[in-house]
């Protein structure tokens, strides 16, 4: 579904909502809301929050107050849904504060997710995995191409594509990326590996503090080792067949002074002359 307005205009609307009270019109005045009436955005792409940083923000709000209000939308039930400011809302709750400064904006409900995604991409420190999910949601749910997204969020198309590729990694590796235990460069090297190898490589990177270059060497080594193992397995798995149904044919070939060998998965007739070919042809016919 294409949106009625472009991402740039929507982003501008969020920027306006973040302006100080002297710069916004009366429709977007900052008010104090009962914190229990503000519900988190269910479409919030950010899932992991640093508890230490939240505590620092909470302490700062207690000492200095909230300098930047959160942005909300009325949900029609006497309460509000958060558009932007998830960390600030969490920090208020951590500080056991009863109210929070907020700006109420009037915007259609179906744009709620898009605003939250763009606000996070542009203004907050999403980890690389959350950023990838945000890109994917914008692309899939709002009829946006990679090129359009690139222009709207001021990221190169290559950067967006490479970030999205990280979603191909398994959840274990994605969690390590989200927690900064490995880098996006490490993740890129693991693309294409099966789940077991991804986990093995990720643990090696973290445990041995491997660089991206060292990880590339490790992956090459593992791929080479796996390739050899697969070849050995295939050799061991060669089937042995029962040649009893061919006993009569084998006897006839031997009676014609032909050397025959039948074992495991092959049947061999040694040919030493054109006469041998004639013998075989006569027996077959």
Please count the other Cβ atoms lying within 10 Å of the Cβ belonging to residue 113.
19
Q: Which residue has the higher pLDDT, 51 or 27?
A: 51
Mean pLDDT over residues 2-22, rounded? 37
Which are the contacts of 57, defined by CB distance < 8 A and separation ≥ 6? 87, 88, 91
The region of weakest confidence among 11-15, 25-29, 102-106, 271-275 is 11-15
What's the pLDDT score for residue 213? 93
CB 116 within 8 A of CB 109: no
How much is the pTM? 0.46
Mean pLDDT over residues 110-118, rounded? 62
Predicted confidence (pLDDT) per residue in 228-285, tens digit: 656 555 655 556 677 677 777 778 777 777 887 777 777 788 888 888 787 777 777 6
* Alpha helical stretches, state H, 50-156: 51-64, 86-94, 112-123, 128-141, 146-153
Q: Token digits for 96?
A: 């056991």
What's the pLDDT score for residue 233? 58
What's the pLDDT score for residue 166? 93
Q: Which residue has the higher pLDDT, 205 or 283?
A: 205
Nearest residue to 143 (alpha-carbon basis) of 155, 156, 152: 152
Nearest residue to 30 (alpha-carbon basis) of 86, 100, 88, 89: 100
Handedness of CA 59, 63, 66, 67 (dihedral sign): negative
Helix then strand then coil, % of the chain, to nearest 5: 60, 10, 30
- Whether the pLDDT of residue 49 is over 60: the answer is yes
Mean pLDDT for the chain?
77
- Whether the pLDDT of residue 74 is over 80: the answer is yes
What's the pLDDT score for residue 209? 92
Mean pLDDT over residues 206-225, rounded? 89
Q: Among residues of the chain, what percentage have pLDDT more than 90? A: 21
For 252, the 3-state DSSP assignment is helix
74 is catalytic: no
254: left (phi > 0), else alpha (psi -120 to 50), else beta?
alpha
- Whether the pLDDT of residue 4 is over 60: the answer is no
Per the residue annotation, which of 13, 86, 114, 130 is the catalytic one?
Answer: 86
Mean pLDDT over residues 111-140, rounded? 73
- Whether the pLDDT of residue 21 is over 60: the answer is no
């Amino acid at each position: 579904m294409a949106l009625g307005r472009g991402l740039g205009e929507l982003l501008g609307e969020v920027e306006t909502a973040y302006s100080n009270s002297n710069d916004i019109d009366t429709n977007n005045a900052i008010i104090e809301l009962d914190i229990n009436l503000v519900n988190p955005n269910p479409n919030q792409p950010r899932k992991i929050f640093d508890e230490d940083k939240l505590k620092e923000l909470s302490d700062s709000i207690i000492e200095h107050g909230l300098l930047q209000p959160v942005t909300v939308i009325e949900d029609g039930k006497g309460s509000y849904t958060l558009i932007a400011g998830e960390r600030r809302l969490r920090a208020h709750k951590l500080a056991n504060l009863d109210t929070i400064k907020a700006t109420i904006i009037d915007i259609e409900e179906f744009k709620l997710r898009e605003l939250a995604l763009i606000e996070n991409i542009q203004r907050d420190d999403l980890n690389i995995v959350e950023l990838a999910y945000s890109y994917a949601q914008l692309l899939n749910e709002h009829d946006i191409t990679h090129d359009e997204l690139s222009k709207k969020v001021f990221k190169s198309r290559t950067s967006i594509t490479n970030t999205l590729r990280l979603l191909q990694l398994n959840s274990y590796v994605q969690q390590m990326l989200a927690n900064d235990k490995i880098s996006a460069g490490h993740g890129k090297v693991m693309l294409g590996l099966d789940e077991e190898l991804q986990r093995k490589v990720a643990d090696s990177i973290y445990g041995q503090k491997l660089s991206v270059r060292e990880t590339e060497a490790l992956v090459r080594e593992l791929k080479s080792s796996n390739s050899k193992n697969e070849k050995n397995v295939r050799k061991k798995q060669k089937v042995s067949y029962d040649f009893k149904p061919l006993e009569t044919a084998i006897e006839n070939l031997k009676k014609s002074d032909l050397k025959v060998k039948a074992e495991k998965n092959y049947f061999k007739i040694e040919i030493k002359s054109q006469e041998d070919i004639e013998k075989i042809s006569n027996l077959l016919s």
